[in-house]
């Protein structure tokens, strides 16, 4: 059992592809037994970071220690201890569900008796008993994802890397999937999951927000919400369009996001009377609306931290 409380640590992790800097000077410290999220849009460097931590890509600069092993020099030893679920379905489409799991169990060289029992156990656990003889290529999105997760956890890894695991899955399957992840974290597995879904990121114990290869913020979702330099005012208006047009005239409001009849307005904390400012603005334009200060959700946080970065760059 690995008693080290830190499962993954990285300092100055950087990866360049030609002139493109895919990952730029990222520091990470991921406690063992947590679900750690990488949140960011496409191209923000989530996959590249995961691949460097797995030892699949050599960092251009910086280094990562995974389970106390160097991700580059000890990558082969590391492979027995980690599981990796690729973004794209990577199992063999022309093999059946059972054959795929049998293959993976042999590649990890589990003892013969253990192989059989482990494959059966996973088929049951991941609700694939009715598909054992079906070719993997003909499975539904949810079934493929369950098979991929079963394959990645077959050798009982201490760390599980999941690269956008739920992008091709319906909401019910996503819920079941996350329940599974919580169960595994409970049993001590460290899980690193990348996503661009805000609701998924919100389930993580801790997360890092990546934008254009740079880690712009990290912490628990609650800490992140407390630490942003913005207040969030929610506006519920009968005519949200005119409310939005009115609010947009005030340049000190950083961003206005419309969600149906609701608008979320981000206002820098250095403006002390944010709520009054909003109410005044709406009254002047004769738009009737209810206003209320709210706790920032992840989308607000994401807007806020990427906005801060843009300002810092412009300055």
Partner 1 sequence: MNSLIRIFAVLRKEFLQLSRDRLTFGMIVGIPLLQLLMFGYAINTDVRNLTAAYADEANTHLSRQFISDIAASQVINLSQRVDTVQDLNRLMDAGVIAIGISVPEDFDRRVIARDRSAVQLLVDGTDPIILGVAQQLTALPIAFDSQTAAAPLRLIGVRNYYNPERRSAVNIVPGLVGVILTMTMVMFTAVAIVREKERGNMELLINTPIKTPELMLGKIIPYILIGLIQLVIILTMGRYFFEVPIRGSYAHVLAASLVFIAANLALGLLLSTVTKTQFQAMQMTFFFFLPSILLSGFMFPFDGMPVIAQNIAEVLPLTHFNRLIRGIILRGADITSMWNEMLAMIAFLAVTLTLAIARFSKRLD
- Site residues, partner 1 (CB under 8 A): 51, 54-58, 75-76, 79-80, 82, 84, 86, 88-95, 99, 102-104, 106-109, 151
- Closest distance of CB 233 from partner 1, Å: 45
> Which C-beta is closer to partner 1: that of 105 or that of 291?
105
Q: What is the DSSP code (8-state) at residue 131?
A: G
- Closest distance of CB 62 from partner 1, Å: 15
- Cα(286)–Cα(122) distance, rounded to whole angstroms? 62
- Cα(62)–Cα(59) distance, rounded to whole angstroms? 6
- Closest distance of CB 244 from partner 1, Å: 43
Closest C-alpha to 256, from 310, 300, 212: 300
Q: What is the DSSP code (8-state) at residue 128?
A: -
Sheet holding 255-259, edge to edge: 255-259, 262-268, 230-237, 289-294
- Closest distance of CB 151 from partner 1, Å: 8
> Which C-beta is closer to partner 1: that of 92 or that of 275?
92
Question: Which helix (H) or strand (E) element contains residue 17?
Answer: strand 6-17
- Cα(227)–Cα(280) distance, rounded to whole angstroms? 27
Look up tokens 């059966």; give the residue. 120
Maximum pairwise Cα distance, the chain: 77
Where does 56-140 have alpha helices with state H?
Answer: 75-79, 97-107, 112-125
- Closest distance of CB 218 from partner 1, Å: 25
> Which C-beta is closer to partner 1: that of 88 or that of 251?
88
> Which C-beta is closer to partner 1: that of 55 or that of 142?
55
> Which C-beta is closer to partner 1: that of 108 or that of 271?
108
> Which C-beta is closer to partner 1: that of 79 or that of 205?
79
- Closest distance of CB 191 from partner 1, Å: 16
Q: What is the DSSP code (8-state) at residue 217?
A: E
């Amino acid at each position: 059992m690995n008693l080290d409380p830190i499962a993954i640590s990285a300092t100055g992790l950087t990866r360049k592809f030609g002139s493109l800097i895919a990952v730029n000077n990222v520091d990470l410290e991921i406690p063992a037994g947590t679900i750690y999220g990488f949140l960011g849009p496409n191209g923000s460097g989530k996959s590249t970071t995961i691949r460097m931590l797995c030892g699949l890509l050599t960092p251009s600069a910086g280094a990562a220690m995974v389970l106390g092993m160097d991700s580059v020099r000890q990558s082969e030893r590391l492979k027995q201890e980690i599981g990796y679920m690729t973004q794209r379905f990577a199992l063999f489409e022309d093999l059946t569900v059972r054959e795929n799991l049998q293959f993976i169990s042999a590649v990890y060289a589990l003892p013969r008796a253990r192989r059989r029992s482990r494959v059966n156990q996973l088929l049951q656990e991941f609700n694939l008993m009715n598909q054992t003889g079906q070719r993997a290529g003909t499975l539904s999105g949810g079934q493929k994802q369950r098979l991929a997760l079963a394959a990645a956890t077959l050798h009982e890894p201490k760390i599980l890397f999941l690269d956008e695991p739920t992008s091709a899955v319906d909401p019910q399957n996503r819920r079941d999937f996350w329940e599974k992840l919580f169960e595994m974290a409970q049993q001590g597995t460290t899980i690193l999951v990348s996503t661009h879904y805000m609701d998924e990121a919100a389930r993580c114990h801790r997360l890092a927000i990546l934008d254009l290869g740079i880690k712009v913020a990290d912490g628990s979702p609650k800490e992140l919400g407390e630490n942003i330099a913005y207040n969030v005012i929610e506006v519920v208006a009968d005519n949200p369009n005119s409310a939005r047009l009115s609010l947009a005239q005030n340049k000190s409001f950083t961003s206005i996001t419309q969600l149906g009849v609701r608008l979320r307005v981000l206002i820098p904390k250095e403006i002390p009377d944010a709520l009054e400012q909003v109410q005044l603005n709406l009254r002047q334009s004769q738009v009737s609306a209810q206003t209320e200060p709210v706790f920032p959700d992840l989308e607000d946080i994401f807007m806020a931290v990427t906005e801060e970065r843009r300002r810092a760059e412009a300055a």
